[in-house]
Amino acid sequence: MTERDYIGNALQLYGVEEYRLQGGKGDGMRFLRVRNGKGIDLSVSVDRCADISDLFFDGVRLNYMSPRGNVAPAYYHLGRDGMGFLDSFNCGLITTCGFDNIGVPNEDDGELHGLHGALPNTPASCASYEVTEKAIVIRAIIPDERIFGRKLVLHRTITVSLEENTLTIEDTVQNCGDHDEPIMYLYHINYGYPLLSEKMKLEISSCKVTPRDDHAAEDLDTWNRMLTPTPQFQEQCYYHEFDQDEAVVTLTNEEIGKKVRMTFPTDVFPYMTQWKMMGIRDYVLGCEPCTNTLEGRHEVGKAGALQSLKPGEKKQFSVKFRLDRI
């Protein structure tokens, strides 16, 4: 007898279900709900760059969800100050940022580039899934192209193992235009309660930690210590650099018996921004692999650190998560 003999439909144990939201600013948004039968339960937001909006492990949410909740991309706006991104920022497990900008809003060559760019609010033009004997594989294509402008296309593959509690995001970005195209890229990975609490232990395999500003420098010695939700907390950001090929970030909370291990290649992501936000309801830890620091496209370009893709050139980015019970 095999496990299959006991069930009428594979969805009784694992698989993918498609659904749409109804009501509010998320009305009509497309999602793929993925369960691996081992403890992982996640949702892929097809209309928001095929990002992972929710991640549960054994029924416990691991990511932060902002007060905004799910917001359809049609509501995105740049805003006069370039901060319109925040009006539709759900956070989720991952919000993919770029391509024109990551970090603060700034003006470059007469064009205003908003906080973290427009990519997070770009729908996939198509998405599909396949269930094999070993994994559930989601594939999506997210084009960021326009006439007289950039022609970048993101090919995304999300692989969820059916044999263990691991998931991998693998991205290929290609310049489909006929001239060099600047590219900035960031995985805005957001952890929340109950994984995130004052009981959680944070370990990052960085060789150098640099505070983003004077306020963050005040607590440089305790960058890895989490606090209880604190009224009027002012965010603190730290840049981590690495001297090995693979960065390792580990979050352990013995109180809930859960551990997350996150890894990513440092050749394409030379930095990781740690966003420490310990406010009331705004209680989130961001661990954000990135191509550049967050001073914005103009300043990064002035420093000669802006990456670009030649016509036809491709670049690959990835991040892997392993979830464990402790």
Chain position carrying tokens 């290929």: 172
pLDDT, residue 305, reads 93
pLDDT, residue 3, reads 81
Bridge partners, residue 186, by sequence: 97, 290
pLDDT in tens, 168-180: 999 999 999 999 9
pLDDT, residue 2, reads 82
Q: Is residue 22 exposed (0-12), middle (13-18) or buried (19+ Cβ within 10 Å)? A: exposed
pLDDT, residue 4, reads 81
Domain annotation for the chain: domains and CATH numbers? 3-325 (2.70.98.10)
- What phi and psi, each to the nearest 5 degrees, are found at residue 73? -65, -20
Helix boundaries (H) for 85-162: none
pLDDT, residue 245, reads 98
Report yes or no on whether pTM surpasses 0.85.
yes
Which residues of the chain fall below pLDDT 70?
A: none
pLDDT in tens, 74-120: 999 999 899 999 999 999 999 999 999 999 999 999 999 999 999 99
Amino acid at 62: L
pLDDT, residue 1, reads 83
